[in-house]
Amino acid sequence: MNSRAQEIAAALANVEDRVTKAAASADRKRSDLTLIAVTKTYPASDVQILADLGVSNFGENRSDEGSEKSEAIAATWHFQGQVQGRKLKDIASWASYIHSINSVDHITKLSRICSEKNRKISIFLQFSLDGAPDRGGVHADQLGQLADQVAVDPNLDLAGLMCVPPVEYAFDRAFSEIAKVHSAFKMSFPDAVGLSAGMSSDFEVAIAHGATHLRVGSEILGSRAYHP
Ligand SMILES: *Cc1c(COP(=O)(O)O)cnc(C)c1O
């Protein structure tokens, strides 16, 4: 192992250990959690190192980067960046999961793309706790309308919800509000139980509050030079 591989292996083992402990203290099974390594800005060689260490889920924020790396490394690829309608077709060519769907138009467009390509894509609907549109998610009140549209669409799978807490919220407050929205959502959409929440700074709190898909970047790969 070269030194970068050793560094990544140690960081991954540390995250994995914390995930396991957080799951145990929340009385949840590790196997019910998916750890997505967010590899944005990091080279394909780092993705390869993680794949060799057994990581099978990767997340990217930009379609060109995701496309390039997914061509080099076969895995389950996730897109969690801000969606632009004109990029949906590109994103759909490599991502199996899109975590950041927040509009009727994007759902309609994605459905058409999936039908043309004869493939299914899984969707997380992104909401924001304060409803601020610049955070990329809809207000929780609008989730039902979007979910109804996805649920009846034969080309799309409704995986669940995604949320990035506002920076000014304390983690506990943010995640208890997220958990409330998630429980109410699951009553209406019992087949869409996923909750994509939890990043490097808060994945343990997220696990305690029911997150199923953790999107962790810098705790595994180190702090990024820039944040797309
Ligand atoms: C970058 C990013 C992550 C990973 O963030 P870290 O703090 O590096 O773990 C997760 N989710 C989204 C939406 C991101 O943009």
Centroid of ligand 1 to alpha carbon of 152 (angstroms): 30
Q: Is 211 in the pocket of ligand 1 (CB under 6 A)?
A: no
The model's pLDDT over 111-150, given as tens digits with 9 standing for 90+, comes to: 999 999 999 999 999 999 987 766 689 999 999 999 999 9
Rounded CA separation 144/140 (Å): 8
Q: Is 93 in the pocket of ligand 1 (CB under 6 A)?
A: no
Rounded CA separation 166/48 (Å): 32
- Can you give the pLDDT at residue 102? 96
Across 55-68, average pLDDT: 98
Atom of ligand 1 nearest to the CA of 200: 9
60 conformational bin, left if phi > 0, alpha if psi -120 to 50, beta if neither: beta
Number of H helices, E strands in the chain: 9, 8
Q: Is 164 in the pocket of ligand 1 (CB under 6 A)?
A: yes
Q: Is the dihedral of CA 182, 188, 190, 191 positive or negative?
A: negative
Q: Is 199 in the pocket of ligand 1 (CB under 6 A)?
A: yes
Ligand 1 site-directed mutation target among 127, 199, 200, most atoms within 8 Å of CB: 199
pLDDT above 70: percentage of residues in the chain? 97
Put simply, whether the predicted model's pTM sits higher than 0.85 gets the answer yes
Across 24-42, average pLDDT: 98
Rounded CA separation 122/78 (Å): 9
Q: Is 67 in the pocket of ligand 1 (CB under 6 A)?
A: no
From the number of C-beta atoms within 10 Å of its C-beta (0-12, 13-18, 19+), residue 190 rates as exposed
- Can you give the pLDDT at residue 227? 57
Whether residue 39 contacts residue 1, with contact meaning beta carbons closer than 8 Å, is answered with no
Tokens read off for 90: 């590109």
Q: Is 61 in the pocket of ligand 1 (CB under 6 A)?
A: yes
Q: Is 218 in the pocket of ligand 1 (CB under 6 A)?
A: yes
- Can you give the pLDDT at residue 228? 55
Taking the alpha carbons at both ends of the chain, their separation in whole angstroms is 30
Atom of ligand 1 nearest to the CA of 40: 1
The fold of the 3-221 domain, in CATH, is TIM Barrel (3.20.20)
pLDDT at 84 over 90: yes
Nearest CA to ligand 1 atom 4: 217
Rounded CA separation 5/15 (Å): 15
Rounded CA separation 42/228 (Å): 12
Q: Write the CB contacts of 179 (distance below 8 Å, at least 6 apart in sequence).
A: 209, 210
Which residue in the block uniquely carries the two structure tokens 């894509």? 121
Across 84-108, average pLDDT: 97
The model's pLDDT over 168-223, given as tens digits with 9 standing for 90+, comes to: 999 999 999 999 999 999 999 999 999 999 999 999 999 999 999 999 999 999 99
pLDDT at 151 over 90: yes
- Can you give the pLDDT at residue 105? 97
Rounded CA separation 221/198 (Å): 16
Q: Is 50 in the pocket of ligand 1 (CB under 6 A)?
A: no
Q: Give the angle subtended at the CA of 91 by the CAs of 87 and 96, to the nearest 5°.
A: 155
- Can you give the pLDDT at residue 132? 73
Confidence of residue 226 (pLDDT cuts 50, 70, 90): low
